[in-house]
Amino acid sequence: MEYFFQNVLNALQWGSFYALIALGYTLVYGVLSLINFAHGDIFMVGAYVAYFAATMFLGEVGLGPGVTLALIVPLTMLATACVGVALERIAYRPLRRKGAHRLYVVITALMCGLILENGNLALLGASRKSFPELVPTTVYAFAGLSVTNLKLAVIATAVAAFAVLHFIVTKTKIGLAMRGIAWDSFAIPLMGVPPDRIIVFTFILGSGMAGLAGVMFAMAYPVLEPYMGALIGWKAFIAAVIGGIGDIRGAFLGGFLLAFLEIGVAAVFPSTMRDLIAFSVLLVFMWQRPTGVFGVARNQKI
């Protein structure tokens, strides 16, 4: 039983990473019906921004670890928000205004992700970077279980991020505008709502969540490399699809469902079988319910 609950704690941590990244996927898709495949690489950019900022604040500026952490979180979210807005302005908006087919937009998103990955590789090289320790790891033991302060922080951050995003989308005027664009993007300008501003705000929110996930991931697993965002980005996208892409509740729930499945497989079978069995089960799930848990069927092509 202790082994079971220990794996539950591990799954909650991984699910928190998936959920934070999946929230960005689902926000953009919910407003634009666009799958921003570059989102996982924005997560990677966030981890690197946090690394360079933390190194500078600790070394050249001489700040303490606590102050450094307090500074790099908003700085990283701001930087990744700028990356997301830049992609929207340079890559996606021109295609949207030309009325390009969704297939071209998807291909553009894939290319943007590759540019971020290989741009990082060309500028910084393939060598891995070690993220400095900002918070000493403390292990709490109770009832035969052990959990670290970082693991608890990751879980609490994911829950707080979900609560904030859910409040913005469901309780604020700008959230109402986001839902309005998702419902009818052609009618919303007639109501005096500037769609470009709402779309930019959506990218700010989604990319900021990717930056936040990058900081938390770098602190929990302090080894960075240029392709770190590829696999976790794809898994977060799958998590968003499982929950019902376009629904914030679905992204949050899907992240934890995927993590529980992965950790559960790894606990029973050899770890090399984890992705194979987990994704096979998910394939069967999607075959039975292609819209995900909270998704609604739409008559459109991607």
* CA–CA separation, 192 and 180 (whole Å): 12
The helix or strand, by DSSP H or E, that contains position 206, with its residue range, turns out to be helix 195-220
Nearest to 130 by CA among 218, 228, 70: 218
42 touches 268 (CB < 8 A) = no
Please state, as a whole number, how many other Cβ atoms lie within 10 Å of the Cβ of residue 81.
23
Q: DSSP string spanning 27-76? A: HHHHHH----TTHHHHHHHHHHHHHHHHHHIIIII---HHHHHHHHHHHH
Distance between CA atoms of residues 214 and 80, nearest Å: 10
Q: Which position has the token pair 């407003």?
A: 31
pLDDT tens digit sequence for 273-284: 777 877 787 778
Other C-beta atoms closer than 10 Å to the C-beta of 261 total: 20
205-229 burial, b at 16+ Cβ within 10 Å, e below that, comes to bbbbbbbbbbbbbbbbebebbbebb
Write down the pLDDT at residue 297.
64
Six-digit token string for 281: 């089960």
pLDDT digits (tens, 9 = 90+) for 190-211: 777 788 888 899 999 989 989 9
Quick: pLDDT tens for 64-93. Answer: 888 999 999 999 999 999 999 999 999 888
The angle, 0 to 180 degrees and rounded to 10, between the axes of the packed helices 173-183 and 149-171 is 70
**H helix or E strand, kind and range, residue 123:** helix 102-124
* 274 CB-side CA count, 13 A: 13
pLDDT at position 24 is: 84
With residues binned 3-state (H G I as helix, E B as strand, rest as coil), the percentages for the chain, rounded to 5, are 75, 5, 20
Output the pTM of the full model: 0.88
pLDDT value of residue 278: 72
Domains of the chain: 1-288 (1.10.3470)
Rounded to an integer, what distance in angstroms lies between the CA atom of residue 138 and that of residue 188?
A: 51
Cβ-proximal residues to 77 (8 Å cutoff; 6+ apart), any chain:
46, 208, 209, 211, 212
User: Which residue did the predictor score with more confidence, 280 or 50?
Assistant: 50
Task: Give the list of residues 6+ apart from residue 244 with CB closer than 8 angstroms, or none.
Answer: 250, 254, 291, 292, 293, 294, 295, 296
